[in-house]
Copies of this chain bind each other. A is one copy, B any other.
């Protein structure tokens, strides 16, 4: 941490400040410039509140140097984390495709989609049982029954299941029934929920918040890791910008940046990013080219009658075609598609 002092700060004031910093268990060395002094702070600066130092009347600015995350930090864990889900793997050269409908709607629907995506080469089945909807008047999901229908689809296809959790009170049932616990974008900083899934044994798929920085996103993963759960998969799903032609703006740079900052795997959701089925292929291929470890794609057997997000869902045929193109791209990037 670096503390920049205001021009003309007296030597005695500097010394008093250095002394007060020592109480916070950090050592400060002083660099005296022409009319401006700088303190370099050494020690456990991650636990210091920068803002508080700013309150000192002689301080002009405080700048953090070390990242505030530890367990998720690539500096201290250079090897990429590989998350194992049944026979599937995410990370470290393995590319996994998660596919399925936005919402579980019926046994016939989820089994049909599961069989289609399995046949096309997906590694896991996604399906929402508890749905976060902007409107209280929209379909909120089949809830507990939805999880049971997912289990039926799993029994038939063997595909591990990924579903979104919205409340800490559901951790027990998700622990029992689900293979990967998804935290949605709107709950990325629902810290209470993050703490609870940190105690689960199942891998967590953590979506990026709509306006969360890379650092905030990794800090949310750090909550889960700090709770004892090392299996976090990060998922970029588009951020909110001024552009309204697409639902959100896929931040493809997030992939190489997160890989530089952290050892956790990163996948991409091309369906929610763009909000339109005709955009999925371009965004999925771009994600692979930028180094993603997987994609999560919405597939519905009858998009026109889907209970939510039909406009961004692929038909099984479109998904089959996409799998073919993704296969070539994954090969070119030197990775392998796992199933």
Contacts and interface: CB of A to CB of B under 8 A. Distances in A.
A55 interface: yes
A245 B244 CA distance: 12
Contact of A211 (B52, B210, B251): B210
A135 B253 contact: no
Residue from the set A134, A215, A250, A308 with the largest chain B CB neighbour count within 10 Å: A134
Interface in A192-239: 192, 195, 210-211, 213-216, 219, 222-223, 226-227, 239
Contact of A190 (B38, B54, B186, B310): B186
A155 interface: no
A252 to B, nearest CB: 5
Contact of A282 (B167, B291, B311): B291
Specify the main secondary structure of chain A where it touches its partner: mixed
A91 interface: no
A132 interface: yes
A133 interface: yes
A115 B56 CA distance: 26
B169 A52 contact: no
A49 B310 contact: yes
Contacts of A211: 210-211, 240, 242
A22 to B, nearest CB: 14
